[in-house]
């Protein structure tokens, strides 16, 4: 009986050591990823401002579509879908 308890203690100890090693490796990878994200965030600011004209153009097109005939079609569809559901 004592041999079984010793074997169980050894197995539990080895499992705990494996868990600790895996936790350390995971934390090291998280640290590396956090540094990469920080570097990306610091360098992306200047590059994203170059996209402002494109974003403004997409907003203008989106506003034009939603304010024009598309808005009327959506309102008509909403009216008929509410009546069909009643």
What are 35-68's pLDDT values in tens digits? Answer: 999 998 888 777 777 777 888 878 877 777 666 6
Could you tell me the two tokens for 76?
A: 């008509």
- 86 three-state secondary structure: coil
Please tell me the distance from the alpha carbon of residue 44 to that of residue 12, in angstroms, as a whole number: 47
37 vs 84 pLDDT, higher one? 37
> Which of 17-21, 34-38, 59-63, 80-84 has the highest average model confidence (pLDDT)?
17-21
Please tell me the distance from the alpha carbon of residue 85 to that of residue 77, in angstroms, as a whole number: 12
pTM equals 0.48
């Amino acid at each position: 009986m004592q041999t079984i308890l010793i074997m169980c203690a050894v197995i539990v100890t080895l499992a705990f050591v494996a868990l600790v090693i895996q936790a350390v490796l995971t934390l090291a990878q998280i640290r590396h990823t956090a540094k990469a994200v920080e570097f990306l965030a610091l360098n992306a600011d200047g590059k994203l401002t170059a996209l402002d004209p494109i974003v403004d153009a997409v907003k203008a097109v989106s506003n034009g579509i939603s304010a024009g005939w598309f808005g009327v079609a959506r309102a008509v569809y909403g009216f008929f879908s509410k009546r069909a559901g009643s």
